[in-house]
Amino acid sequence: MSVLPFRAGAAAVLDANAVALRRLASLVPLSAEEAKGVLALPLACRASPVGSELCAAGAIAPWPRVLVQGWACRMRMLPDGRRQMFDLVLPGDLIGSLLPPYRPAAAASVALTPVETANAAPLAALLAGPGEALPAALAALDRQSERLLLDQITRLGRQTAYERTAHLLIEIKCRLAAVGLACGNAFPLPLRQDTIADLLGLSVVHVNRTLQQMRRDRVLELRGGVAVLLQPGRLQAEAGFDTPQPGPSYGAA
């Protein structure tokens, strides 16, 4: 449990079809037919360096793309230089909606590591084919991305630094596990501390101190771009990580 099962830079490598398939199948079970269809798609990959803008805010992408490798995020700059990240884009996630109407992007998508993206248009074509699991998976994808935004709001609005950090780490673990990029409780975490700060609405210094505290608490091991959650249950409890509760009565005057 304390041996890091990844070597930095030696992360698993999946091709575009495998990533897309895993992502979709993690939401809705696909028929063998549909799975084969996804694996047969001609997905053309393109590499982009760290820091490149995969999609500008307000831009309408010519076609939808899937992130195949590397990490990205959606973010916004404030006029005075403050930065806020809205969510992470992990392998298997879409950049832009798969189907028309193609809406202008509400935020810029930026590569946090070197990334590879594939044109997802062939996947859209597959939706017209037989089987209903694929459309359902697409709908679930949309739904999950909204849920992640709401989770982010909850973190920023009502959680302490420690809780926010724990919640984010668990979220990342779960999302990576869904596409087979986590190994038990260990997973790659190629983020700088200042990036985590911009995600969590904290300062770099405080992120650093929070991570130190987690190490002292023996709930987290973090070295060389690889994170290991040592006591996932405890961390999950502290993060209040669970499904949203139905809201009780709540009024105003």
Would you tell me which residues interact with its own copies (CB under 8 A)? 50-53, 56-58, 71, 74-80, 82-84, 86, 101, 103-104, 106-108, 110-113, 135-136, 139, 142-143, 146-147, 149-150, 152-154, 156-159, 190-192, 195, 198, 200-201, 225, 240, 242-253
* Alpha carbons 236 and 240: distance in angstroms, whole number: 6
211 binds DNA (CB under 7 A): yes
Closest contact distance (angstroms) between CB of 5 and DNA is 18
| Stretch of residues binding DNA (CB under 7 A), selected from 104-112, 157-165, 228-236, 239-247 | 157-165
* Alpha carbons 251 and 194: distance in angstroms, whole number: 39
Sole residue written with tokens 């985590």: 196
Single-letter code of the amino acid located at 123: L
C-alpha closest to that of 66 among 95, 30, 34, 27 = 95
- Stretch (H or E) spanning 170: helix 161-178
What tokens does 30 get? 């696909």
Closest contact distance (angstroms) between CB of 77 and its own copies is 5
User: 18 or 178: whose CB is closer to its own copies?
Assistant: 178
User: 32 or 247: whose CB is closer to its own copies?
Assistant: 247
Per-residue CA distances from 159 to 44, 124, 163, 232, 250 (Å): 41, 38, 6, 18, 21
Assess whether the previous peptide bond of 190 is cis (omega < 30° from 0): no
145 binds DNA (CB under 7 A): no
Size of the site for DNA (CB under 7 A): 19
Contact track, DNA, 176-205, x by CB under 7 A: ----------------xxx------xxxxx
The residues near 63 (Cβ < 8 Å, ≥ 6 apart) are 96, 119, 120, 121
User: 43 or 73: whose CB is closer to its own copies?
Assistant: 73
Beta bridge partners of 3: none
218 binds DNA (CB under 7 A): no
User: 42 or 58: whose CB is closer to its own copies?
Assistant: 58
Give contact residues for DNA (rule: CB under 7 A).
160-162, 192-194, 201-206, 208-209, 211-212, 224, 251, 253
